[in-house]
């Protein structure tokens, strides 16, 4: 099932893109004119440098909190680790809208807004990866340097940075990949002035109907993403091989350290809380004060949509539920095979959709499923399938550790007592893996709920999802449209947070550990 799902809904759309890019009238036709054009070079350059600058800023912003969490034990440490992950699971359209509400006029749709939104998203990557690695470093070298008279600045420059180099490189490569393929943030905050490869694929395919140019850009992005994924994988392998075997035990901060830890933790979390808080405030803002007017209008017909906004909410819940079911149906067999050592290659294949462009996947869906034998373009099924394709890797990553933790001797004892393989799976594996399944289902639901890049390509006008509805409201002038977009963002943020919290509650009870 996993191989069939990936072959039909991942490989086939990619082949359709390659065919549209490279084949013309039955012969090979390289789209060199598109790739070498000045407009393509400008878009590629902006895509690269904004991702590079966003990466540097995210690393710099995440280091103080990574240091505090890695080196010190303080009240609320686990809560801080959990809160810093909240921005990472928020839908991109929600974050982009939050920055539109937060930033002053003239900056809310600019390069600065794009960079800040990318930092907001990716601080969690830096804190988790670098902080985890930092906590495992041997502190004796720092103690020896301090004994020899080296000050904090020199120890950081001469010891800390070189020791953290593998983790910093790995975190930077992952953040660069996320920023390079960013879609919702660029589309909403960049507007028509700023375009990346990701948004230009959407513009050429969905707005200009120039499928050849869109396919050529998708091919260029696919090559760039493959290169970044290869570099990230190599750096992660170096990270795993260079980690110190002796870690420094977290200790209570003392003296000036207490103040620095408070600044690092409180300052970072306070800044991360600003966009969501502003979003809530703007959703309640009405002429003359605050109220629930924008929320009441969600049940009314609006020119921005063919249906009421509440229908978009119900559509999202329906699609996310179906997508989570598909992701579980595909991800559970893949996780079982990976745990049993029979699916190493399959495990890699399941992770590939995370490295692919969401806009490219959506565009590939339009090309691959427009004709028989599998004509799905006029149906609603492309939306949950696209969402499931993005959510499946998270199901595998959530469920595999739980399955690995099951002692195989329990299965063997049940078999000796006469239990058939189906009964062993039902009475041994399923109860022990129930928490992992709950986590996987919660994450898949939350991710599908906020998926925007592929959904905006394939969603029907009469079946919009929440992210698509928000995007359409933001594309229309008027304070009422903006207010309804803010209200929908709060609803989507609440639903996503509920799914993430439900998963985290199970996670916190020991069902799964990252």
Q: Which residues of the chain have pLDDT under 70?
A: 138, 142, 232-250, 253-255, 341-348, 355, 401, 405, 407, 500-514
Give me 180's structure tokens: 């390079």
Q: Could you tell me if 61 and 81 lie in one domain? A: yes
Q: Could you tell me if 341 and 352 lie in one domain? A: yes
- Give the three-class secondary structure for 27: strand
Residue 489 belongs to domain spanning: 1-30+292-514
Q: What is the pLDDT of residue 244?
A: 46
Q: Could you tell me if 310 and 207 lie in one domain? A: no
* Single residue among 235, 252, 286 that ends a domain in this structure: 286
Q: Could you tell me if 438 and 418 lie in one domain? A: yes
Closest CA to 12 of 331, 373, 324, 344: 373
Q: What is the pLDDT of residue 310?
A: 93
Whole-number Å distance between alpha carbons of 271 and 260: 16
- Residues in contact with 287: Cβ distance below 8 Å, sequence separation at least 6, in sequence order: none
Q: Please give the tally of structural domains in the chain.
A: 2
| Count of positions (residues) in the chain | 514
Q: Taking the mean position of all CA atoms in its chain, how far away is CA 274?
A: 20
* Single residue among 286, 312, 340 that ends a domain in this structure: 286
Q: Could you tell me if 236 and 330 lie in one domain? A: no
Whole-number Å distance between alpha carbons of 377 and 283: 34
Q: Could you tell me if 260 and 297 lie in one domain? A: no
Helix H or strand E encompassing 485: helix 479-506
Q: What is the DSSP string of 242-310?
A: H--SSPPPPB---THHHHHHHHHHHHHHHHHHHHHHHHHHHHHEETTEE-SHHHHGGGS--TT-SS-HH
Q: Taking the mean position of all CA atoms in its chain, how far away is CA 57?
A: 18
Q: What is the pLDDT of residue 511?
A: 39
Q: What is the pLDDT of residue 241?
A: 46
Q: Could you tell me if 198 and 336 lie in one domain? A: no
Q: What is the pLDDT of residue 78?
A: 75
Q: Could you tell me if 93 and 235 lie in one domain? A: yes
Whole-number Å distance between alpha carbons of 303 and 368: 32
Residue 246 maps to which CATH number? 1.10.3720.10
Whole-number Å distance between alpha carbons of 428 and 406: 9
Q: What is the pLDDT of residue 488?
A: 92
Q: Could you tell me if 255 and 301 lie in one domain? A: no
Q: What is the pLDDT of residue 356?
A: 72
Q: Could you tell me if 316 and 275 lie in one domain? A: no
- Give the three-class secondary structure for 418: coil
Angle 39-43-47 from CA coordinates, rounded to 5°: 170
Please tell me the pTM assigned to this model.
0.79
Give buried/exposed letters for 301-321 (b at 16+ CB in 10 A, else e): ebebbebbbebbbebbeebbb
Q: What is the pLDDT of residue 313?
A: 93
């Amino acid at each position: 099932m996993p191989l069939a799902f990936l072959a039909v809904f991942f490989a086939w759309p990619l082949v359709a893109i390659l065919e549209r890019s490279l084949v013309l009238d039955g012969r090979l036709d390289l789209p060199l004119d598109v790739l070498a054009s000045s407009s393509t070079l400008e878009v590629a350059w902006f895509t690269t440098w904004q991702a590079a600058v966003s990466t540097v800023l995210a690393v710099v912003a995440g280091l103080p909190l990574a240091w505090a969490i890695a080196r010190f034990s303080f009240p609320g440490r686990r809560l801080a680790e959990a809160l810093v992950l909240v921005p990472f699971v928020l839908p991109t359209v929600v974050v982009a809208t939050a920055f539109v509400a937060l930033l002053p006029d003239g900056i809310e749709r600019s390069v600065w807004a794009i960079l800040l939104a990318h930092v907001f998203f990716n601080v969690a990557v830096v804190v988790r990866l670098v902080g985890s690695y930092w906590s495992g470093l041997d502190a004796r070298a720092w103690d020896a340097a301090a004994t020899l008279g080296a000050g904090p600045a020199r120890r950081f420059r001469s010891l800390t940075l070189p020791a953290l180099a593998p983790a910093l490189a790995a975190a930077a490569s992952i953040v660069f990949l996320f920023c390079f393929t960013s879609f919702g943030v660029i589309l909403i905050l960049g507007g028509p002035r700023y375009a990346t490869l990701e948004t230009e694929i959407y513009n050429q395919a969905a707005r200009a109907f120039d499928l050849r140019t869109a396919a050529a850009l998708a091919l260029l992005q696919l090559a760039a993403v493959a290169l970044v994924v290869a570099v990230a994988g190599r750096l992660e392998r170096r990270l795993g091989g260079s980690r110190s075997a002796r870690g420094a035990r977290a200790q209570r901060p003392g003296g000036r350290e207490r103040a620095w830890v408070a600044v690092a933790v409180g300052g970072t979390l306070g800044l991360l809380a600003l966009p969501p808080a502003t979003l809530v405030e703007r959703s309640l803002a009405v002429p003359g004060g605050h109220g629930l007017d924008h929320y009441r209008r969600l049940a009314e017909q609006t020119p921005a949509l063919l249906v009421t906004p509440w229908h978009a909410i119900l559509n999202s819940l329906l699609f996310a539920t179906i997508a989570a079911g598909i992701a579980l149906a595909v991800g559970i067999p893949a996780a079982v095979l990976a745990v049993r050592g029979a699916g190493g290659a399959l495990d890699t294949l399941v992770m590939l959709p995370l490295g692919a462009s969401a806009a490219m996947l959506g565009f590939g869906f339009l090309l691959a499923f427009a004709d028989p034998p599998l004509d799905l373009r006029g149906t609603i099924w492309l939306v949950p399938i696209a969402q499931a394709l993005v959510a499946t890797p998270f199901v595998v990553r959530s469920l595999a550790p739980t399955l690995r933790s099951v002692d195989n001797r329990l299965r063997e004892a049940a078999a000796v007592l006469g239990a058939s393989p189906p009964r062993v799976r039902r009475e041994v594996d399923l109860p022990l893996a129930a928490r992992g399944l709950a986590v996987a289902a919660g994450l898949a639901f939350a991710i599908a709920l906020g998926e925007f890049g592929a959904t905006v390509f394939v969603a029907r006008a009469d079946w919009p999802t929440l992210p698509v509805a928000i995007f359409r409201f933001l594309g229309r002038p008027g304070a009422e449209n903006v207010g309804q977009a803010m209200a929908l963002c709060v609803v989507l943020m609440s639903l996503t947070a509920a799914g993430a919290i439900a998963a985290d509650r199970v996670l916190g009870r020991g069902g799964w550990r990252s």
